[in-house]
């Protein structure tokens, strides 16, 4: 009886997707940035794993972009099921490739059915794109799920292309957060974790007027 009840509960849970687009270009290999990003991402996933509830299943995917193209580092799965494998940094910054892949991932109806909550998408970068990114960016933010998503951008250091990150985040629910040093990456990801947590505790997780925490409270 208990086994049947557990299966029924899992079947009812609606996915709440969280996607991280992580810049793993060569510049991320210095000053402890990739180590800090790995640590912050693993901590965020562990926090989400503790949020599993009857009605919401926080699912996470991580897309990395470095070298010649983007890759799906961590396919969509429940946070509790993820065994985190650290990312490595090398190569160029193919943001356009990452956005194209992200568009494919969030519109995969087999993995994220129509009953899924709107996604939270986090773009992390410390530099400027090296590939054709304008078309993929317009396509992504104008897509069915892309335009409804909570889109946050994290600018690491002084060389991050803020013009690109501002367009990605938009002016509605999104924002650009700044991690001036590697050690601040963890603070930024803590804020993202808090926003997703607020959604899971809301009566309507798809509402766009949630009372999110103030990033200033984390001393950015």
Tell me, yes or no, whether 219 lies in a domain. Answer: no
pLDDT reported for residue 1: 47
Q: What is the band of 93 on the pLDDT scale with cuts at 50, 70, 90? A: very high
**At 164, which CATH number?**
3.40.50.410
Q: How many helices (H) and strands (E) does the chain have?
A: 6, 6
Tell me, yes or no, whether 134 lies in a domain. Answer: yes
pLDDT reported for residue 202: 83
pLDDT reported for residue 199: 86
Model confidence pTM above 0.75: yes
Tell me, yes or no, whether 49 lies in a domain. Answer: yes
The sign of the torsion formed by the CA atoms of 138, 199, 17, 189 equals: positive
The single residue listed with the structure tokens 């892309």 is 146
The single residue listed with the structure tokens 């990395």 is 64
Q: Tell me how many domains the chain contains.
A: 1
Q: Average pLDDT in the 164-182 region?
A: 84
Per-residue model confidence as pLDDT tens digits over 99-143: 999 999 999 998 899 999 999 999 999 999 999 999 999 999 999
The sign of the torsion formed by the CA atoms of 22, 23, 25, 26 equals: negative
- For 41, the domain range is 12-199
Starting from the edge strand earliest in sequence, which strands make up the sheet with 150-156, in order? 69-78, 56-66, 14-23, 120-125, 150-156, 175-179
Tell me, yes or no, whether 5 lies in a domain. Answer: no
Tell me, yes or no, whether 209 lies in a domain. Answer: no
Tell me, yes or no, whether 214 lies in a domain. Answer: no
Q: Average pLDDT in the 74-96 region?
A: 96
Residue 166 structure tokens: 């501002």
Q: Average pLDDT in the 24-50 region?
A: 96
Candidates 143, 118, 127; CA nearest to 196 is 118
Tell me, yes or no, whether 4 lies in a domain. Answer: no
Tell me, yes or no, whether 215 lies in a domain. Answer: no
């Amino acid at each position: 009886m208990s086994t049947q009840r557990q299966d029924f509960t899992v079947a009812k849970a609606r996915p709440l997707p969280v996607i991280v687009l992580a810049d793993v270009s060569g510049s991320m290999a210095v000053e402890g940035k990739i180590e800090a990003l790995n640590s912050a991402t693993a901590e965020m996933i562990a926090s989400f794993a503790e949020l599993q509830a009857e009605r919401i299943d926080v699912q996470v995917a991580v897309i990395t972009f470095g070298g010649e193209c983007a890759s799906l580092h961590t396919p969509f799965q429940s946070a509790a099921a993820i065994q985190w494998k650290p990312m490595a940094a090398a190569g160029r910054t193919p943001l356009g490739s990452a956005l194209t892949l992200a568009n494919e991932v969030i519109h995969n109806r087999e993995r994220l059915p129509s009953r899924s909550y709107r996604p939270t998408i986090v773009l992390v970068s410390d530099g400027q794109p090296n590939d054709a990114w304008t078309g993929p960016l317009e396509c992504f933010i104008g897509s069915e799920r892309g335009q409804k998503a909570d889109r946050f951008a994290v600018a690491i250091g002084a060389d991050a292309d803020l013009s690109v990150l501002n367009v990605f985040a938009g002016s509605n629910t999104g924002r650009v957060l700044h991690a001036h040093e590697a050690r601040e990456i963890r603070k930024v990801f803590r804020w993202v974790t808090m926003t997703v947590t607020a959604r899971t505790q809301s009566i309507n997780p798809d509402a766009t007027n949630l009372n999110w925490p103030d990033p200033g409270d984390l001393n950015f």
